[in-house]
Amino acid sequence: MRGVQQPDLDGVVAEHAQGDQRKPNPYLSVEELASVTPWTEDAIRSMIKRGDFVDGEHFFRVGRRVFFKWSAVVDMIEHRSPKPLGTVPLQRARHHEPPQA
């Protein structure tokens, strides 16, 4: 019985039909995205939970698996404005009531 041949997922770069030019696969798994960005798999999952990556825009779910749209990730990296720093809430002035006599 012949085994089922698994697709080669070692590289995220697919040969383009024109000679030696290469282009990235349009959709990447978490593992593949981690291999081509400075983010770890855990960091990517945290970015999903925080909402840095938007479901339906940057990534899509197929069953339990998550696939990232490479062009949307690149666009986010290149055009994302830094998040504004959080502000420290000020305490409200407390009005002290005069002591009861």
Cβ contacts of 9-17, under 8 Å, gap ≥ 24: 12/36
53: domain CATH number is 1.10.10
pLDDT in tens, 41-97: 999 999 999 999 999 999 999 999 999 999 999 999 998 755 555 555 556 656 666
State the pTM of this model.
Answer: 0.57
Whether residue 64 lies inside any domain: the answer is: yes
pLDDT of residue 16: 36
Q: Going edge to edge, which strands form the sheet with 59-62?
A: 27-29, 65-69, 59-62
71 assigned to some structural domain: yes
φ and ψ at 67, to 5 degrees?
Answer: -125, 130
- Which tens digit of pLDDT belongs to each residue from 9-36? 344 444 333 444 556 689 999 999 999 9
CA Rg value for the chain? 23
**Structural domain for 74, as ranges:** 23-78
